[in-house]
């Protein structure tokens, strides 16, 4: 596939992530302790369990043997250089891409077997997935609330407008909002269905430092207050250190390192997380110098 075709396919996938990865019906919620029946592994704190995930595009192995959990109230950073496989991983968790192998459980529910129920536990926000600009803030929240089948929607929208300081902007079209305001609306939309798992793809990418700081604080408090688990991608190591409880370093489709972002640099002889990131990103993977190809494990 040519570079242009691949970019087009990627943006289609991202668009589809925005439109279709949303739960059509919030359905019955499994108990909050994560014990979601047989598939839930009783008493399990994991809101996301990814096991042996693999994605092959034609000859390119984009994701290889990726396994990790995200627990309740935990913010996990998915880090890696451009092309590492982060978006591919997120899209498999959102059910937009089918894995070549491996499994995804959300709130204890197997995505492959109970797709609607599993996705009803999740939601998503990304800098590239902007909300319809010709709808006002309140209309956008109502629209997505109807799509998700949120009960007592008027009350929920009012609650979120207050929670995200959007009351005075409720009748403003989203296309006219600043980046920081749009990010607040996108986050309000992403928590409409009270997800157990929140996937955030570079949520602060286009924000000034002050707006980014406010958004980070909001996201952290979401994890603490609602008990959801958050999987967050970012290229900003300062923010990762501030926000994430744990990070996963992905490089050429594989997890190279996992741990506490405040301790990892020292444990690996680096001065900062950024220095460690750069070193890992440049590390060759065995005999394969580029992305792993079929047959080069």
Contact 270, 276 (CB under 8 A): yes
Residue 15 three-state SS: helix
Using CB under 6 A, which of 229, 243, 291, 292 touches ligand ATP?
291
One symbol per residue from 31 to 70: x for binding ligand ATP (CB under 6 A), - otherwise; what is it? --------------------------x--x-x--------
Please work out the total of residues on this chain that contact ligand ATP, with binding judged by CB under 6 A: 16
Distance CA 136, CA 205 (A): 23
Distance CA 273, CA 97 (A): 31
Distance CA 190, CA 262 (A): 28
* β-bridge pairing 75-79 and 229-233: parallel
Q: Give yes or no for residue 6 binding ligand ATP (CB under 6 A).
A: yes
Using CB under 6 A, which of 27, 41, 65, 83 touches ligand ATP?
83
Question: Is residue 203 packed enough to be buried (19+ CB in 10 Å), middle (13-18) or exposed (0-12)?
Answer: buried
Q: At what angle do helices 153-163 and 137-148 cross, to 10 degrees?
A: 130
Using CB under 6 A, which of 34, 40, 80, 145 touches ligand ATP?
80
Q: Give yes or no for residue 234 binding ligand ATP (CB under 6 A).
A: no
> Nearest distance from residue 280's CB to ligand ATP, in Å?
13
> Nearest distance from residue 132's CB to ligand ATP, in Å?
24
Distance CA 223, CA 203 (A): 15
Binding piece for ligand ATP, criterion CB under 6 A, among 75-83, 102-110, 138-146, 149-157: 75-83
Using CB under 6 A, which of 86, 105, 216, 218 touches ligand ATP?
86
E strand intervals along 85-211: 101-106, 109-110, 122-126, 197-201
Six token digits for residue 271: 């001065």
Q: What is the spatial order of strands in the sheet that 46-57 belongs to?
A: 60-71, 46-57, 101-106, 109-110
- The overall longest dimension of the chain from CA atoms, in Å, is 58
Binding piece for ligand ATP, criterion CB under 6 A, among 82-90, 104-112, 162-170, 190-198: 82-90
Q: Give yes or no for residue 85 binding ligand ATP (CB under 6 A).
A: yes
Q: Give yes or no for residue 293 binding ligand ATP (CB under 6 A).
A: no
Q: Give yes or no for residue 82 binding ligand ATP (CB under 6 A).
A: yes
Distance CA 155, CA 95 (A): 30
Of 165 and 283, CB closest to ligand ATP = 283
Using CB under 6 A, which of 22, 87, 123, 204 touches ligand ATP?
87
> Nearest distance from residue 227's CB to ligand ATP, in Å?
28
Of 6 and 113, CB closest to ligand ATP = 6
Q: Give yes or no for residue 111 binding ligand ATP (CB under 6 A).
A: no
Binding positions for ligand ATP, rule: CB under 6 A: 1, 6, 9-10, 57, 60, 62, 80, 82-88, 291
């Amino acid at each position: 596939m040519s570079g242009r075709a691949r970019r087009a396919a990627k943006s289609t996938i991202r668009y589809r992530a925005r439109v279709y990865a949303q739960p059509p019906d919030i359905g019955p919620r499994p108990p909050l302790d994560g014990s979601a029946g047989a598939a839930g592994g009783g008493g399990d704190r994991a809101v996301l369990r990814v096991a042996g995930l693999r994605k092959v595009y034609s000859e390119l192995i984009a994701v290889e043997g990726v396994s990790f959990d995200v627990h309740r109230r935990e913010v996990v950073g998915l880090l890696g250089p451009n092309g590492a496989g982060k978006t591919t991983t997120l899209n498999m968790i959102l059910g937009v891409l089918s894995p070549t192998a491996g499994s995804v459980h959300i709130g204890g529910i197997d995505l492959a077997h109970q797709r609607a129920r599993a996705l009803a536990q999740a939601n998503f926000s990304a800098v590239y997935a902007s909300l319809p600009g010709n709808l006002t803030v309140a209309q956008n929240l109502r629209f997505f609330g109807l799509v998700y089948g949120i009960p007592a929607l008027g009350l929920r929208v009012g609650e979120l407008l207050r929670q995200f300081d959007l009351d005075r902007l409720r009748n403003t079209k989203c296309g006219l909002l600043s980046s920081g305001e749009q990010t607040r609306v996108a986050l309000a939309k992403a928590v409409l269905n009270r997800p157990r798992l929140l996937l955030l793809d570079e949520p602060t990418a286009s924000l000034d430092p002050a707006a980014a700081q406010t958004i980070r604080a909001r996201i952290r408090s979401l994890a603490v207050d609602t008990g959801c688990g958050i999987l967050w991608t970012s290229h900003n190591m300062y923010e990762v250190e501030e926000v994430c409880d744990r990070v996963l370093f992905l490089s050429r489709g594989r997890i190279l390192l996992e741990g506490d972002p405040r301790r990892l640099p020292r444990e690996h002889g680096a001065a900062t997380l950024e220095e460690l990131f750069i070193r890992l990103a440049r590390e060759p993977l065995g005999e394969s110098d580029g992305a792993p190809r079929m047959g080069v494990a």
